Amino acid sequence: MPKPTPVEDLIIPPQDQKICGTICVCQMTAVLSCVAIVYLTVAIYMPYTRAIASGIDPTPIMCTTTRAVNKDNCDWGSCGEWCLSKTSGACIQIYVNVRKNGTSLLLAECGSAANKTCYGIDQENAKKYHCIRDECRNLTGTFNCTEGKCINITDAFECAFRDTDPPLKCSGRRGKITCIDVHGLFSCSRGTCRKIKTPYNCDRRCVDIPTRHKNVIVLSGDRVFLARCSKLAQEDGGNVVWNDSGEEVLMLSCHAVHNGTSGVVAVDCINAALLPRTDISDLTNFTYLQYLYTVKAVPNRIIAPSEVELTMANDSVPLLCEGPGSSLRDD
Q: Which residues of the shown chain bind ligand NAG in the complex (CB under 6 A)?
A: 33, 43-44, 57, 60, 62, 101, 113, 115, 138-141, 144, 146, 152-155, 157-158, 185, 190, 202-203, 207, 225, 240-243, 255, 257-259, 264, 267-268, 285, 287-288, 308, 311-312, 314
Contact assessment for residue 5 and residue 27, using Cβ atoms and an 8 Å cutoff: no
Residue number with CB closer to ligand NAG (89 or 238): 238
* Closer residue to ligand NAG (CB): 154 or 326: 154
State the minimum distance, in angstroms, from the CB of residue 43 to ligand NAG: 6
Q: Which residues contact 189 (CB under 8 A, 6 or more apart)?
A: 140
- In the bound complex, what is the minimum distance in angstroms from residue 71's beta carbon to ligand NAG? 13
* In the complex, residue closest to ligand NAG by CB: 60
Whole-number minimum distance, CB 145 to ligand NAG, in Å?
Answer: 8
| Closer of 23 and 250 to ligand NAG (Cβ) | 250
Distance, in Å, from the CA atom of 224 to the CA atom of 181, rounded to the nearest integer, reads 37
Q: How far is the CB of 331 from ligand NAG (least distance, A)?
A: 30
Compute the distance between CA of residue 242 and CA of residue 103 in angstroms, rounded to an integer. Answer: 13
DSSP 263: S
**146 versus 294: smaller Cβ distance to ligand NAG:** 146
Q: Give the C-alpha separation, 188 to 92, whole Å.
A: 27
- Half-sphere exposure of residue 65, counting CA atoms within 13 Å on the CB side? 30
* Residues forming beta bridges with residue 62, ordered by sequence position: 99
Nearest alpha-carbon partner for 211 in 108, 70, 116: 116
Nearer residue to ligand NAG within complex by CB, 84 or 252: 252
